[in-house]
Amino acid sequence: MDTLILASTSPYRRELLARLGYPFESVAPEYEEARIPGLSPSALALCHAVGKARSVAARCPGRIVIGSDQVAELDGDTLGKPGGQAAAVSQLLRMAGRSVAFHTALAVVRDEREESALETYTVRLRDLSREEIEEYVRADRPFGCAGAFRIESRGIALMEELRGRDYTALIGLPLIALTDLLRRFGVRVL
């Protein structure tokens, strides 16, 4: 059983991959997540997932490498990671009472072979007061999360509705699509 490589240091992605019970190690990708003019939010997520996986695969020949990236989209605009309290509050105020699409891309690379998938998960936030948003941001500190919330924590209280095929995509690593891609590489989780 070959050990997989997760091209990420995200604790959320590591926790999700660990659920499969397959041995893996995490390696930080040497890849810059830049905005690329002209790419849709879903295409940008896919570009970054492939870029992360390729950057690690180049250093680990013969190994199966998993890359993932998530981009939030509101009215065609890309919402990035807020990075701080003021930006998180601003983002959530803009999203309150509205639907936001989260495009989570996945790439599996071994040497020259690449397979990829894209999962879109849509959330509708409740109508929220500034006070509720500020309290949430103080409590959960979602500064490194696309969309400025952590669904696996108190962020669930912001939600009115969740829609999609695989809720793990919303957290950052779509496990249904991943198990399918891994099967294509001969990796059987079951």
Tell me if residue 153 falls in helix, strand or coil. Answer: coil
Neighbours of 156 (CB within 10 A): 12
Q: Are strands 24-26 and 4-6 parallel, antiparallel or unpaired?
A: parallel
Distance CA(105)–CA(174), nearest Å, equals: 8
CA distances from residue 111 to 54, 64, 103, 190 in whole angstroms, order as listed:
8, 8, 26, 24
Catalytic residue among 2, 69, 75, 180: 69
Q: Please classify residue 136 by burial: count the beta carbons closer than 10 Å to its beta carbon, then call 0-12 exposed, 13-18 middle and 19+ buried.
A: buried
Nearest of 182, 81, 92, 183 to residue 129 by alpha carbon: 92
Contact 163, 122 (CB under 8 A): yes
Please indicate whether residue 69 is annotated as part of the active site.
yes
Q: Hey, which residues are catalytic here?
A: 69
